[in-house]
Structure 1
Amino acid sequence: MPQNKKEISITVELDDNNVPEKIDWNATDKDGEGIANCRAMMLSMWDPKKQDTLRLDLWTKEMTMDEMKVFFHQTLITMADTLENSTKEEGMAEDMRDFTSYFAEKMEIME
């Protein structure tokens, strides 16, 4: 029986100091055709053998501080959603959402 497979590719162009200048990505089931560009990414993967999270956080030179604040805020919201969807921990997810409101206020960004 054939398995359904999806592929995600990420290409990072670096300057001479290994600072990202461009981040492109594509996925077999991405909306729209062709390669997409982004200014920042956070990739987390769980290693079951080490019981540890492997992380890759990158952002380009063009990513502004204001964009990074919004990016973090939106990432925190999606983390709360993922926690609730994966563990059914509604209370903790709501606490995280409360924190995202506090974060937005302290970072002076709009929700």
Structure 2
Amino acid sequence: MKTAEIKLTIQLDDNNVPETIMWESTDSANKEALPVKAMMLSLWDQSYKNTLKIDLWTKEMPVDEMKRFFYETLQTMGDTFLRATGEKNIVEDLRDYCAHFADKMEIKQ
């Protein structure tokens, strides 16, 4: 059995606002920590049947990149949901919403 580890290192300012977010993985070809401006981590709590979440972004994350980050996240959630459930019809609806979201947020697809 193989074990992989994902490590997140968050540097906070005096008000606990993220200054930097670094991530690394034992499975990554790149063996050094990489900087990111934002992250969303969702974990399923099977005991309580709900989601545990950590959403963080640095002070340096521009609004236009945050909009794009949400758009890309919604798109990849659709991919994941399709692979996990095979529910093509609802994923098509999600894709339609993503197109609407991109239009309203003026995101170039």
Per the normalisation by structure 1, the TM-score is 0.96
Q: 2:94 aligns to what SS in structure 1?
A: helix
Q: Distance in 2 between matches of 1:106 and 1:31?
A: 37
Contact conserved, 2:78 with 2:91, CA < 8 A, in 1?
A: yes
Report whether the alignment pairs 1:31 with 2:39: no
Matches within 5 A, 1:9-88: 9-88=7-86
Match of 1:46, SS state, is: strand
Counterparts of 1:69-108 in structure 2, within 5 Å, are 69-108=67-106
Q: In 1, are the aligned partners of 2:38 and 2:58 still within 8 Å (CA)?
A: yes
Partner amino acid for 1:86?
A
Q: Deviations over 1:18-75 (max 9, x none)?
A: 0000000000112323111100000000000011100000000000000000000000
Partner letter of residue 29 of structure 1? Answer: D
Runs in 1 of length 4+ with deviation above 6 angstroms?
A: none
Amino acid at match of 2:98: T
**Do 2:9 and 2:22's aligned partners in 1 also have CA atoms closer than 8 Å?**
yes
Identity of aligned residues (%): 50
- Secondary structure of the 2:100 match is helix
Unmatched 5+ stretches in structure 2: none
TM-score by length of 2: 0.98
The aligned amino acid for 1:56 is: I
Q: Can you give the 5+ residue segments of structure 1 that lack an aligned partner in the other structure?
A: none
